[in-house]
Amino acid sequence: MTQTTQTHTAHPDDPEDSPEDQRPRSPEFRAAAEALRGLRQDLFHDAFAYRPLTRKEPAGRVLSRLKGRKREYVTWSRHAVVGAVGALAMLIAWVGGGGGGVGLLTGLLALIPVLLTLVRPAGAFWLSLAAAAVTTVVSTTSGDWPWTPSSFITHLMVLTVVAIRTRPRTAAWMWLLTAAYGFVAETLFGWSHYATNSAPMLVFSAILLLAVTVWHIRRQAEEEVTAQQTVTAHERSRRTLLEERTTIARELHDVVAHHMSVVAIQAEAAPYRVENPPPELEKAFVTIRENAVAALTELRRVLGVVRAEDYEVPDAPQPTLADLDRLLANVRETGLDVEKTVTGAVRELPQGVELSAYRIVQEALSNTLRHAPGASARVEIGYVLGGLGLRIVNGPPPNPTLIKPSPGAGHGVTGMRERVTMLNGEMTAEPTPAGGYEVTVFLPVPAPSESGT
C-alpha cells in the first residue's frame, strides 16, 4: 500500500484559504454554531423519518396482573390517548367550521398532525405549524389569532408528545419556533386583529414542556442510578467471591502444609529405616525432601499474599467433623434448638473435606440464627459410598418481626458454594414449602483404590 501526500498551496484569491477563516472562533460563535447544529439534527435532519411509538409494557402490581385482551388494550393506552385528543380537536374544528366542507378541512388539519406524532414526531411539529396557518386562513371564526381553538389544542398536544419522544433540547427549539411563528403572524398578518392568543400558547406550552423536561431529567437520573446500582452489586458480588476464596485458601493452608511436612519428615527418615540403602535410594529421598520443603516454602509465600493485614494465624488446628458436637453445643446456648443425625459408617475423610463440611454446617446454622431467630434446625450427616452428604434444614421463624435486615451482600451461601465447587461437589440452597430453609450438599470422596493410596 502506498500513501500519497498532496500539498495544497494557499492562493491569496481563494476565499476558502483566506486568513480570516483560519482565525480561532470566539466562544459565542462556537455556541451559536453548536446550537444551530442541534436544531438541524433534531428538527430538520430526517424530520419525516418513520419512528413508530412502541407499545407500553404493563407495569405495576395492578397492570402486570392483567391477562388476555385487557393486557392487550393496556399496551395501546398511549396511542388511544393521543387519538382521543386528536378526535377532540377535530370535533372542535368541525363544529367551529359549521359542519360543512370548511369544517371537514379544518377538522382533518387538526387530527392529522396529532396522529402523525405516533409515527413521525419531528415531521408532526412542522405539519402542525403549517396546519395552524392554513386553518387560520380558511377558518370562518373570528377573535382567535393566530391560533384557532382546534389548532391551539392540536399544537399543544403535538408539542407534548414530540417532547416526550425526543429530548429536552428539541422541546426548547419547538417552543422558540412556536414563539417565532406567533411573532411573524402577529407582525405581518395581524393588523386586522385586535386580540391575539400567542401569549396563552407560549405560557401553556412552556408549562407542558417544562413538565416533560423535568420528567426526562428524572427518568435519566433513575436510569443512571439503576445502572450504578447494577455495577455496584456486581462489584460487591465479585468482592464477596474473592474474600471467600481468600478465606478458604487461608484455611486450607494448614491442611496442605501438614501433608507437606509429613512428606518431608518421612523422606528424611526413610533411609534410616532400611539397612545399607543404595545411594540411588538415598538420593531419591533427599530429592523428595528438598521438593517438599520447597513446596512448603512457596505455599507459605502464597499465604502471605492472600492474607489480610488484620489476619492472625490460628493457634489451634483447623476444625473437622469431630468438633461438630462442640459447635452444636455453642449454638444451643444462643437459643437455637438443633439436633444432629448421623447415618452410615463413620470414617475418616480427607482433611479438606472435613474442614469444608464443618464450615458449611457452621455457616448454615449462622444463617438460621440471623434469618430465622427462634426456629429449630436439624443437621443430617450421611456417610455414603463415594462421598459425604450434608443436609441442614430449619423451620420458619416463630416471630418474623424479630428478623433484622442484614446489611450488605451475604457471604454465607457464596462461601458454601465456593467450598463445594472446590471439591467438585453439588449443592442446593432453597426455601422449604413450610417456610424454612434447606441446604443440601454432597461432597465426593474417592475410594482409597481410586486415590492411589
Of 257-271, 278-292, 298-312, where does the model show the most confidence?
278-292
pLDDT at 150 over 90: yes
Residue 306: pLDDT band with limits 50, 70, 90: low
Global pTM value: 0.59
Per-residue pLDDT, 403: 60
For residue 329, give Cα distances in angstroms to 167, 314, 336, 341, 388. Answer: 65, 21, 10, 14, 22
Neighbours of 192 (CB within 10 A): 7
Averaged pLDDT score across all residues of the chain = 82
Burial 409-437 (b: 16+ CB within 10 A, else e): eebbebbbbbbbeebebebebeeeeeebb
The C-alpha atoms of residue 120 and residue 448 are separated, in whole angstroms, by 75
The C-alpha atoms of residue 394 and residue 377 are separated, in whole angstroms, by 4
The C-alpha atoms of residue 138 and residue 136 are separated, in whole angstroms, by 6
Per-residue pLDDT, 379: 95
The C-alpha atoms of residue 376 and residue 393 are separated, in whole angstroms, by 9
Residue 174: pLDDT band with limits 50, 70, 90: very high
Neighbours of 175 (CB within 10 A): 19
pLDDT at 10 over 80: no
Per-residue pLDDT, 450: 46
pLDDT at 253 over 70: no
Q: Is 384 helix (H, G, I), strand (E, B) or coil?
A: strand
Per-residue pLDDT, 6: 45
Which helix or strand (DSSP H or E) is residue 439 part of? strand 437-444
For residue 70, give Cα distances in angstroms to 59, 81, 248. Answer: 13, 16, 54
The C-alpha atoms of residue 378 and residue 364 are separated, in whole angstroms, by 10
Per-residue pLDDT, 453: 42
Residue 131 CB burial class (10 angstroms; 0-12, 13-18, ≥19): buried
| pLDDT tens digits, 407-436 | 444 457 888 888 898 889 999 999 999 889
| pLDDT tens digits, 310-338 | 555 555 567 889 889 998 988 888 878 99
Q: Are 408 and 239 in contact (CB under 8 A)?
A: no
pLDDT at 449 over 70: no
Per-residue pLDDT, 79: 93
| pLDDT tens digits, 354-377 | 888 998 998 899 888 888 888 899
| pLDDT tens digits, 23-73 | 667 888 888 888 889 889 899 988 999 999 998 877 666 666 667 777 778
